[in-house]
Amino acid sequence: EAGVVQSPRYKIIEKKQPVAFWCNPISGHNTLYWYLQNLGQGPELLIRYENEEAVDDSQLPKDRFSAERLKGVDSTLKIQPAELGDSAVYLCASSLVGNSYEQYFGPGTRLTVT
């Protein structure tokens, strides 16, 4: 069974440029999460989807961040425009719906904003 797939693995952009990250969850997983992880810290949830619906986006900086999950499968997270402080690892995870929330993580995208 394939795991959570993310691309790209690394991205270097100049500030004020846009950037997008892609995630494909484990087949059959209805719940998809995007996290941000700063160096030396634990992941912080940005947004959680149940199928196509964003059920928790309270931590998503909506002035510059956006996300979509069309058809309830893969998802895209976008930053426009990027700032220096956005340099971090962006992690995607998925899980089955229901009481069990056992999450499985992708390898992450390391973003560097110069």
Residues for the chain: how many in total?
114
Nearer to another protein, 73 or 89 (CB): 89
- Rounded-to-integer distance, Cα 40 and Cα 47, Å: 21
Choose which of 1, 27, 42, 70 interacts with another protein (CB under 8 A).
42
The yes or no reply on residue 41 touching another protein (CB under 8 A) is yes
Residue with tokens 């979509």: 68
State the nearest-atom distance from the C-beta of 81 to another protein, in Å: 26
Residue type (1 letter), 53: E
- Say if CB 28 and CB 96 are below 8 A apart: yes
The three-class DSSP label of residue 105 is strand
- Residues 54-93, one symbol each (x = binds another protein by CB under 8 A, - = not), give -xx--------------------------------x-x-x
Write down the least CB distance from residue 16 to another protein, Å.
27
CA 6, CA 22: separation in Å to the nearest integer? 6
Residues forming contacts to another protein in the complex (CB under 8 A) are 33, 41-45, 48, 55-56, 89, 91, 93, 99-105, 107-108, 110
